């Protein structure tokens, strides 16, 4: 199935790159070559940067390499490019929806944890200003929800 999936957070250096990295890893293992993944941030501050070193380290500890990813800002054209746009928290969701041009744009945008906890509107907490354990927690949340995402769309 051809599908393009975009993960979005605030800076595109912690949550959305690991969400992309975990999903990419699982899709490759399933040999699902027609599914494209990418990630973006609602702010431009970290454009061009590799993922936060703490997130890269946590990823590697869990067997996933995200060192090749580079941050970019979400742009309106992403509504044309992608079929599904997953926000990490309600603030990201609101910021993306503000840029939507029509109902078709809006219906592509979802909170990622609603894949595993439907309609609960749970959030992936921002680990940026906290300690190492916050990064592992984010990894575990996204590992679980991407398993469910795959079941929901590719089963
Ligand atoms: P992310 O985390 O949205 O998961 O990439 C953050 C990264 C950078 C900042 C905030 C959150 N920042 O304020 O620079």
Residues contacting ligand 1 via CB (< 6 Å): 9-15, 41, 45, 126, 128
Are 102 and 80 in contact, with CB atoms under 8 Å apart? no
Cα-to-centroid distance, 94 and ligand 1 (Å) = 16
DSSP assignment, residue 106?
Answer: H
Atom 12 in ligand 1: residue holding the nearest Cα: 11
Cα-to-centroid distance, 10 and ligand 1 (Å) = 5
Q: How many other CB atoms sit within 10 Å of the CB of residue 19?
A: 30
pLDDT, one tens digit per residue, over 5-46 is: 999 999 999 999 999 999 999 999 999 999 999 999 999 999
Q: What mean pLDDT, rounded, does the chain reach?
A: 97
pLDDT at 76: 98
pLDDT at 16: 99
73's tokens: 């800002």
80's tokens: 């044309």
pLDDT at 36: 98
- Give 1's pLDDT tier (boundaries 50, 70, 90): confident
Task: Please give the domain boundaries of the chain with CATH numbers for all domains.
Answer: 3-154 (3.40.50.2300)
Phi, psi (5° rounding) for residue 108? -80, -15
Considering the entire predicted model, what is its pTM? 0.98
Please state, for a pLDDT cut of 90, what percent of the chain lies above it.
Answer: 99
pLDDT at 51: 98
Atom 13 in ligand 1: residue holding the nearest Cα: 11
pLDDT at 155: 83
């Amino acid at each position: 199935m051809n599908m393009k999936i975009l993960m979005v957070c605030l800076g595109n250096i912690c949550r959305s790159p690991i969400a992309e990295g975990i999903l990419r890893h699982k899709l490759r293992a399933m040999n699902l070559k027609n599914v494209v993944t990418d990630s973006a941030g609602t702010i431009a501050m970290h454009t061009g940067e590799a993922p936060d070193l703490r997130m890269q380290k946590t990823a590697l500890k869990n067997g996933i390499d995200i060192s090749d990813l580079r941050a970019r800002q979400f742009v309106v054209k992403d509504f044309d490019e992608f079929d599904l746009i997953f926000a990490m928290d309600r603030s990201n969701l609101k910021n993306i929806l503000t840029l939507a041009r029509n109902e078709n744009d809006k219906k592509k945008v979802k909170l990622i944890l609603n894949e595993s906890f439907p309609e609960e509107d749970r959030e992936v907490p921002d680990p940026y200003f906290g300690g190492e354990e916050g990064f592992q927690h984010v990894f575990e949340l996204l590992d679980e929800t991407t398993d469910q995402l795959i079941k929901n769309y590719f089963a």
